[in-house]
């Protein structure tokens, strides 16, 4: 899918696929340097993190493992509720592993704050976060994010894994939606 495929649904492209690829490669290089010689498990948070997880994990040279969680923080709307529910848990025990949570976006920070507490209580050697996008102006709780792709304005964005009502995830860039798209 390309922006042109969406006609008038998109308002503007915030981050191009080239910008995303460049930044993901930089994040991967930093992760390679920081985790050399350690036993790293990447934990992708479905569904939004699917694109960054796929690209980041392939850009990292270390022999990492992957696992996934699915949590629900908000339904089909555009605002966080603060209510977090595990829809799919990790497949394996993380005791003694270095865990890096891979997220598409930190919005209010409520999901990550909850996830960090949850995973840290399971006996991992370390738990850190890599988030492609962060909205500093939307923060309701402070979360320590070790690797941030881009700090972006507090606008609702879609693409590269991020959805509106389950649509637009397959767009290769990050974009804002036109007001008319919210009615469809």
Strands 98-106 and 126-134: parallel
Residue 75 burial (CB count, 10 A): 9
107, 137, 144, 163: the active-site residue:
107
Residue 57 touches ligand PRP, criterion: CB under 6 A: no
C-alpha closest to that of 112 among 161, 169, 69, 58: 69
Residue 131 contacts residue 161 (beta carbons within 8 Å): no
Residue 71 contacts residue 115 (beta carbons within 8 Å): yes
Token pair 């930044």 in the structure block, residue: 23
From 52, 104, 128, 171, residue interacting with ligand PRP (rule: CB under 6 A)? 104
Our CA angle for 165, 175, 28, nearest 5°, is 100
From 163, 172, 176, 178, residue interacting with ligand PRP (rule: CB under 6 A)? 163
Residue 55 touches ligand PRP, criterion: CB under 6 A: no
Site string for ligand PRP, 105-134 (x = CB under 6 A): xxxxxxxx----------------------
Catalytic residue check, 9 = no
Residue 44 touches ligand PRP, criterion: CB under 6 A: no
* Residue 96 backbone phi and psi in degrees, to 5: 80, -5
Site string for ligand PRP, 3-42 (x = CB under 6 A): ----------------------------------------
Which of helix, strand or coil describes residue 72? Answer: strand
From 45, 97, 102, 116, residue interacting with ligand PRP (rule: CB under 6 A)? 45
Contacts with ligand PRP, residue ranges (CB under 6 A): 45-48, 72-74, 80, 103-112, 163
């Amino acid at each position: 899918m390309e922006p042109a495929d969406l006609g008038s649904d998109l308002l503007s492209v915030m981050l191009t696929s080239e910008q995303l690829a460049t930044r993901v490669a930089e994040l991967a290089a930093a992760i390679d340097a920081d985790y050399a010689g350690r036993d790293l498990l990447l934990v992708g948070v479905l569904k939004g993190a699917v694109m960054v997880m796929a690209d980041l994990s392939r850009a990292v040279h270390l022999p990492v493992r992957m696992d996934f969680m699915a949590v629900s923080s908000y339904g089909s709307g555009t605002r966080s509720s603060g209510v977090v529910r595990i829809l799919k848990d990790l497949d394996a025990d993380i005791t003694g592993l270095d865990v890096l949570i891979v997220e598409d976006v930190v919005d209010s920070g409520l999901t990550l704050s909850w996830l960090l507490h949850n995973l840290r209580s399971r006996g991992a050697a370390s738990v850190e976060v890599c988030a492609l996008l962060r909205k500093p102006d939307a923060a309701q709780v402070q979360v320590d994010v070790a690797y941030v792709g881009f700090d972006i304005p507090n606008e609702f964005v879609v693409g590269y894994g991020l959805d509106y009502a389950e649509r637009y995830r397959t767009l290769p860039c990050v974009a804002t939606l036109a007001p008319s798209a919210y009615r469809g």
